[in-house]
Structure 1
Amino acid sequence: MIRSINPATGEVIETFEPLAENEIESRLNLAAETFIDYRRTSLAERAMKLLRAAEILEAERERFGRLMTTEMGKLFKAAVEEAQKCAWACRFYAENGERFLADEEVKTNATRSFIRYRPLGPILAIMPWNFPFWQVFRFAAPALMAGNVALLKHASCVPQCALAIEDLFRRAGFPEGVFQTLLIESSQVERVLRDRRVVAATLTGSDAAGASVASIAGREIKKTVLELGGSDPFIVMPSADLDEAVSVAVRARTINNGQSCIAAKRFIVHERIYDEFERRFVAAMERLKVGDPLDPATDVGPLATRDQLETVAAQVERAISAGARLLTGGHRLAGPGFFYAPTVLADIPEDAPARREEVFGPVAMLFRARDADEAIRLANETDFGLGSSAWTRDEREQERFIEELEAGLVFINGMVASDPRLPFGGVKRSGYGRELGAFGIREFVNIKTVWIRTEAAELTRTE
């Protein structure tokens, strides 16, 4: 049984039966048959439909926002902004897709040689709950613009969002079968991934889930793109604007109730300013209002599921047991819903698991660094490598962080964020491949080499 539960109250909103085997088979057939015709549509036609999707997202952003908030607990304002960001991605690929996929001429000894980008077929997208619309659209907009068709296996706790997205694409004019939501359980994913009609897959989730999908896809010789979370460092050096750094640090740790792959999680502060940063940061975290995500005055809403709440609580308890110093928070909040107090830990021992794992909730860890060398060492000691942020006015330090931080994204004096114009992805156990930008639309295409020699050209050369 797939259940939609309001994390602010713990109440079941609606339940859904997973698709039966014959229903899965029917949808796979539809995807394969639809692709035959859809890949022949013009880029202009696909762009028109994406623009229509953007219009629907913008016109109904509050309805979609309320759906996201009630199903996974994000702040209503943030949910509305998420719908608008999805519209941005649709417009971006509608306006730039033809340029990204245009033939690229290459001079060789042929009459003409060039690179052509062609769609692959049905792509399976295994998506998480934390950004229930954005995660889907940042895959779907470029994939559909490129001429692929999509099969969405969304997180089991956001079935209403998954169905709403399918309906949105249908209303935007995409043919039936171009985008389908599969309400299936985790145990059914392998059967779909192995099916010969599915040609590739993308997953955003844990490194364990990524390893499982990559292993299956590897045995089937299928392309994958994996975005597997992070334990992002947030470095603050003496030359930084401390007021701004502290303000952004709080926002960067508690965005989406602390449930973001690119949320800052480890705050590495130069020893000259550490004490002042700690004082201000803890005070700011303690001022945050935790409560109803539909209330405009709320700063931090609930965690998405009871399991997520229990996981975060256990991670904090293990860190404290290992010797970490608790500066504030560190407990669940009384009452209904899955609420956890904004928490700050310091002096985390080197052998504590929390020092290297991803804590997916409003929990910050503070570290003291002697200099830039130690800051870089601390930043890179985790197995993850998704985002990173460094705060310094020193240009030499900026260049060092850009060069030496082991991450797919480096933001200087700013909060890490995804942007349709820029490639998004990580290194190490944060995964491989890229979403967004020109790189994102080319992940799921056949990069086809074309070499042509004409008889007329051959005669000219021999005369």
Structure 2
Amino acid sequence: MESLEVGKILGEGVGEVQEYIDVCDYAVGLSRMFAGHVFPSERKGHALLEQWNPLGVVGVITAFNFPVAVYGWNSAIAMVCGNCMLWKGAPSTPLTSVAITKTLMAKDERLPLVSFTGSTQVGHKVSMMVQERFGKFLLELGGNNAIIVNEDADLDMVVRASVFACAGTAGQRCTTTRRLILHKSVYDEVVSRLVKAYGQLRIGDPCEADTLYGPLHSTAAVEAYKNAIEEAIKQGGKVECGGKVIDRPGNFVEPTIISGLSHDAKIVQTETFVPIVYILKFEVLDEAIRWNNEVKQGLSSSIFTKDLGNIFQWIGPKGSDCGIINVNIPTNGAEIGGAFGGEKHTGGGRESGSDAWKQYMRRSTITINYSKELPLAQGIKFE
């Protein structure tokens, strides 16, 4: 069903359903571990506690590209936190998402939290509506993600990782790699090997088990693909491979590699939700990290290197500014147990693992006086 509606290949669709199953398992275990705290009170005869309680009803708005898993992340955890759910799936995936498509959740004060997954532009509108009524919002928006390939990287791993990161799901993941930032010493070899690997991708019906690359989701996505390639060429880009709409039924386009653009070219700074990756060349690692961080989004990022110093620079305060920071793996493919989301225009929200459950609850700080005295905090006297 998901392959028919989204165009996602069968293996990825099955994996997405498995992800919902996995997050349900995770949430069941989590339900036994919600922890408040007991703090020492500065006042004699007092107890200071912290407790988490359900919000009530949580609204979830999801995008077309993950119509099962993203709802799963939100619903499983929100429900074990004691909340009820109201879901609006993407209008283009009704068979998969059973959407409630006409509810203005963002303005409804009965929903303390609205979780939105989708584009930065729409997420901004949703957040403003929710904020106007002092509601809570959880945003997981776009990403202009980069892989940095240092001079000491294992290039076999780089090529294998990059093909899936750039072309998997036909470029329609929020964590898809949009920019490959290559050290000048490995630039030519990586580009040559990637072009060869792209030529071996099995393109076809996403419902067939051996297909690795399916169609785009809609005709609008095909137009976005064509416009992005036209703009890239206007701005000085060179199409290394791909660049054309495939002449066959369906929204099929060629996975595309474009070189020759500056790191700050307008099209490189723009997230286009299609299978186009821009190749950039750097000389020193500080420069590459700066380029990684200069885009407005801050979702996922990766570096390929064997140097421990580079790794700890990358994950530290002067490294990647993204919510997801990877080493020697691609930008896409997240595990259930880690909080998923990003910074800046990606929205700042976190879904799934770690302490993301806290967003689906309200925090109460509780003071209990079990004495017969009324001392004030900070030793204040009011007598």
TM-score, normalised on structure 2? Answer: 0.93
1:183 matched residue in structure 2: 101
Write the letter of the residue equivalent to 1:158: T
Write the letter of the residue equivalent to 1:273: V
Alignment partner of 1:455 out of 362, 371, 376: 371
* Alpha-carbon distance between aligned partners in 2 of 1:139 and 1:450, rounded to the nearest angstrom: 28
* Alpha-carbon distance between aligned partners in 2 of 1:290 and 1:335, rounded to the nearest angstrom: 11
**How far off its partner does 1:456 sit?**
7.2
Contact 1:286 1:342 in 2 (8 A): no
Contact 1:159 1:183 in 2 (8 A): no
Bigger shift: 312-321 or 83-92? 312-321
**Is 1:86 paired with 2:20?**
yes
C-alpha distance 351-433 of structure 1, shift in aligned 2 (>3 A): closer
**How far off its partner does 1:350 sit?**
5.0
**How far off its partner does 1:401 sit?**
1.2
**How far off its partner does 1:93 sit?**
1.1
Alignment partner of 1:343 out of 223, 236, 256: 256
* Alpha-carbon distance between aligned partners in 2 of 1:250 and 1:105, rounded to the nearest angstrom: 50
* Alpha-carbon distance between aligned partners in 1 of 2:236 and 2:215, rounded to the nearest angstrom: 27
1:273 matched residue in structure 2: 186
1:284 matched residue in structure 2: 197
* Alpha-carbon distance between aligned partners in 2 of 1:158 and 1:455, rounded to the nearest angstrom: 59
Instruction: Say how many residue pairs are matched.
Output: 370
1:281-430 map, 5 Å: 281-349=194-262, 352-403=265-316, 404-416=319-331, 417-430=333-346
Unaligned runs of 5+ in 2: 375-383
State the Cα RMSD in Å: 1.6
* Alpha-carbon distance between aligned partners in 2 of 1:266 and 1:438, rounded to the nearest angstrom: 28
SS at match of 1:441: helix
* Alpha-carbon distance between aligned partners in 2 of 1:243 and 1:250, rounded to the nearest angstrom: 11
1:220 matched residue in structure 2: 133
1:32 matched residue in structure 2: none
Write the letter of the residue equivalent to 2:10: F
**How far off its partner does 1:254 sit?**
1.6
Contact 1:125 1:202 in 2 (8 A): yes
1:38-187 map, 5 Å: 67-99=1-33, 101-109=34-42, 111-163=46-98, 181-184=99-102
Write the letter of the residue equivalent to 1:270: H
Write the letter of the residue equivalent to 1:422: G
Higher RCO (Cα < 8 Å, 6 or more apart): 2
SS at match of 2:161: helix
**How far off its partner does 1:265 sit?**
1.4
- Please list the CA deviations of residues 48-105 of structure 1 after superposition, one character each: whole Å capped at 9, or x if unmatched: xxxxxxxxxxxxxxxxxxx111111101111111111111100001012221x22221
1:261 matched residue in structure 2: 174
Identity of aligned residues (%): 30
SS at match of 2:52: strand
SS at match of 1:432: coil
**How far off its partner does 1:351 sit?**
5.6
Quick check: which one's helix share is greater?
Answer: 1
1:432 matched residue in structure 2: 348
2:380 matched residue in structure 1: none
SS at match of 2:60: strand
